[in-house]
Amino acid sequence: MRRLLLTTAVATTAALTLTACGTTEPAADDAKKTTERITLTDATGTKVELDGPAKKVVGTEWNVVEHLIELGVDPVGVSDVKGYKTWDTAVPLKNEPKDIGTRGEPSMETVAALKPDLILATSDLPPAAVKQLRKIAPVLEVKAADAADPIGRMTENLDLIAKATGTTDKATELKKQFEAKLDEGKKALADAKLAGAKYAFADGYVVSNQVSIRPYTSGSLIGAVNEELGLKNAWTVKGDPAYGLGATDVEGLTKIGDVQFAYIGNDGDASSNPFAGVLAKDKVWTSLPFVKKGNVHRLPDGVWMFGGPGSMSAYVDSLVAALTK
């Protein structure tokens, strides 16, 4: 023990001498001010001041990243890049952003090293972490989701981000396209005599022989889009106040009755697709009325269920295609 301590001490002293007194960055000089300032108020009521439209932007959650890409601003830093590429191919990354760590604990230091003009964070980050991020760069904290008005929340976030990046025109265009997409989808469903049809969307996971299912209630983004399309949400379980997600198991599905059932899984994640996997042999599942009638639809992978207009438009397309097939 003593020898170990001594060696460590010698080694550290040597290391200290070696690292002494260099700097990785010159000392600060007076910052140059530009003229075109932008002032915004974010979801927490914080005033955010920008010197100009943000160009180097970091996103800590995938939904804000998706907004950015759609607005034509390629983010310089994204949480869990690999995960994004797996789960959100509807709005693919156009550049190779730096991975800033997990979505839950993005690394402050990696973010700081990127020297962003703007950080987009969501209310899923703890307030202390946001407080720290604010020291790195202006932080626009958006509310991650709001089960009271999911679509309104999404467009509000889009608008806020557009203002910060000087892309308001693009945002208006995106919103118009999305409205058009919803109308088009609604019409297509009505033409197929599916207006008012009972419909349930879910995703599910298999963990050690057990299946857990997440119902997307009316408070979820997808649930709200479904209602815009003229479908009737069949879930009776209560969702959480932010994402509108509930929890149930296979037998809970017996309560939704005869519906159109759709889900999104992922080929890149073996545990994410119980419906065509373990449940294929499950008696409860196979005796459900909608399973017997073949009204179970697997929608294409890569549509992020909590994303922006891009993902939601892709969702509308795939849903309409599946239901009117």
Partner 1 sequence: MAVTATTPATRPPTATSRTGAARVTAALVLLVVALAVVDITQGTAAVGAPEVWKALTGRADQADASVLIASRLPRVAAGLLVGAVLGMAGAALQAVSRNVLASPDTLAVNAGSYFALGLATVTGVSLPLLASSGIAFAGGLAAAAVVLGLSGLGAGTVRLVLAGSALTLGLTALTEGLLLLFPQQTDGLYHWNQGSIAQNGFDGVLQMLPIAVVGLVGLLLLARRIDALALGDDAARGLGVPVRATRLTAVVLAALLSTAAVTLAGPIGFVGLCAPALVRPLARRFRALTRTRGNLPVAGLTGAALVLGSDVLLRALVPSDVAVGVPTGIVTSLVGAVFLVVMACRTRDTAAAAAPDRLHIRSRAVFLTTTAVLVVVLVGVVIAAVLLGDARLLLGDVVNWLQGRAGRTTAFVLDTRVPRVLAALFAGAALALAGTLVQAVTRNPLAEPSILGVSGGAALGAVLLVTTVPMVGSWGVAGGAFAGAAVSSVLVFGLAARGGYQQNRLVLVGFGVATGAAALISLLIIITDPFNAIKALTWLSGSTYGRTLPDIVPLAAVLAVGVVVAAARRTELDLVSLDEDTPRLLGLNLGRGRLGFLVLAVLLAAAAVAAAGTIGFVGLVAPHAARALVGRQHARVVPVAVLLGAVLVCAADLVGRTVIAPAQLGAGMMTAVIGTPYFLYLLVRSRRG
Query: Which residues in the 55-84 window bind partner 1 by CB under 8 A?
Result: 83
The tokens describing 293, both together, are: 């009638």
Q: How far is the CB of 127 from partner 1 (least distance, A)?
A: 8
177 vs 212 by CB, closer to partner 1? 212
Site for partner 1 in 222-241 (CB under 8 A): 237-238, 240
Residues in a beta bridge with 233:
199
Parallel, antiparallel or unpaired: strands 38-41 and 47-50:
antiparallel
Judged by beta carbon, residue 111 or residue 316, the one nearer partner 1 is: 111
> Is 282 near partner 1 (CB under 8 A)?
yes
All residues at 6 or more sequence positions from 224 whose CB lies less than 8 Å from its CB, including other chains: 149, 150, 151, 218
Q: Is 12 in the site for partner 1 (CB under 8 A)?
A: yes
Q: Which amino acid is at 188?
A: A
User: How many residues touch partner 1 (CB under 8 A)?
Assistant: 83
> Closer to partner 1 at the Cβ: 99 or 156?
99
Residue 243 lies near partner 1 (rule: CB under 8 A):
yes
Sequence-distant (6+) residues with CB within 8 A of 147 are 217, 219, 220, 239, 240, 241, 242, 243, 244
Between 192 and 247, name the residue whose CB sits nearer to partner 1. Answer: 247
Backbone angles phi, psi at 269, to 5 degrees: -140, 100
Question: Closest by alpha carbon to 116, among 160, 166, 60, 71?
Answer: 60
Question: Binding marks (x or -) toward partner 1, 13..52, rule CB under 8 A?
Answer: x-xx--xxxxxxxxxx------------------------
CB 237 within 8 A of CB 217: yes
Three-state SS across 207-263?
Answer: ECCEEEEEEECCCCHHHHHHHHCCCEECCCCCCCCCCCECCECHHHHHHHCCCEEEE
* Binding test (CB under 8 A) with partner 1, winner from 47, 207, 294, 325: 207
- Residue 224 near residue 186 (C-beta atoms within 8 A): no
> Which range, of 1-9, 56-64, 177-185, 296-304, touches partner 1 by CB under 8 A?
1-9
Least distance to partner 1 from the beta carbon of 123, Å?
Answer: 11
Using the rule CB under 8 A, which residue among 173, 255, 276, 324 binds partner 1? 255
Q: Which stretch binds partner 1 (CB under 8 A): 159-167, 168-176, 264-272, 294-302?
A: 264-272
Applying CB under 8 A, does 100 fall inside the site for partner 1? yes
